[in-house]
A and B are shown apart, each in its own frame.
Chain A
Amino acid sequence: MTIAAQTYSGMRNRRALVLIAVTLVLIVATAIWSIGVGAVAIPADVIINTLFNLDGEKQTYIIMRSRLPRIVLAILCGGAFALSGTIIQAVIRNPLASPGIIGINAGAALFAVSLVTLFPAVPQVFMPLAACAGGLAAAAVVIVTARTRAVSAAHLALIGVAVGFVCEAGVDYFLITSSDAERSAPLIWLTGSLWGRTWGHVEIALLPLTALGGLALLLAHRLDLMGLGAETATGLGIRVPRERMVLLTLAALLASISVAVVGVMGFIGLMAPHIARHLIGGAHRLLMPLSMLVGTLLVLLADGIGRAIAPPIEVSAGILAALIGAPFFVYVMLTTAAERDT
Chain B
Amino acid sequence: MSIVLSGITAGYGKDPDVLANIDLEIETGGITVLIGPNGCGKSTLLKTVGRLLKTRAGAASIDGLDILTSPSKQIARTIAYLPQSPAVPVAVSVEQLVGYGRAPHQSLLGLKSAEDVERIDHAIDIAGIGHLRHRQVAELSGGQRQSVFFAMVLAQDTPYAMLDEPTNHLDLTHQIEVLELIARLKTEHGKTAIVVLHDLNLAARYADRLIVFKQGAIYADGTPDEVLTETTLSEVFAVDSRIVTDPVHGRPFCIPYPHAAAAQDGHGVDLKAGQERRAGAVSMR
Contact = CB atoms under 8 A, between A and B. Distances in A.
Given A4-B112, A237-B75, A221 B117 contact: no
Give the size category of A's interface with B.
35 or more
Contacts of B87: 93, 228-229, 231-232
A235 B138 contact: no
A211 interface: no
Contacts, number: 112
B83 A232 contact: yes
B148 to A, nearest CB: 12
B139 A220 contact: no
B82 interface: yes
16 contacts: A3-B111, A95-B90, A218-B108, A222-B108, A224-B96, A224-B110, A227-B89, A228-B87, A229-B86, A229-B87, A231-B52, A231-B86, A232-B149, A236-B100, A236-B104, A277-B91
Task: From A219, A227, A228, name the one whose CB has the most chain B CB atoms within 10 angstroms.
Answer: A228
Nearest to B121: A6
A1 interface: yes
A8 B91 contact: no
Contacts of A28: none
Contact of A225 (B74, B91, B100): B100
Q: Which 6 A-B pairs have the closest CB atoms?
A: A221-B110, A237-B76, A229-B87, A235-B81, A282-B91, A231-B83
A279 B240 CA distance: 57
A220 B96 CA distance: 13
Interface of B: 13, 47, 50-52, 72-77, 80-83, 86-87, 89-93, 95-97, 100-101, 103-104, 106-114, 116-117, 133-134, 136, 138-139, 149, 156
Nearest to B133: A8
A219 B91 CA distance: 19
Contact of B50 (A1, A95, A234, A340): A234
B196 to A, nearest CB: 14
Contact of A1 (B75, B111, B139): B111
Contact of B108 (A6, A221, A230): A221
Given A229-B87, A281-B93, 7 more contacts: A4-B114, A221-B106, A221-B109, A224-B89, A229-B83, A234-B52, A277-B90
A327 B150 CA distance: 39
B156 to A, nearest CB: 7
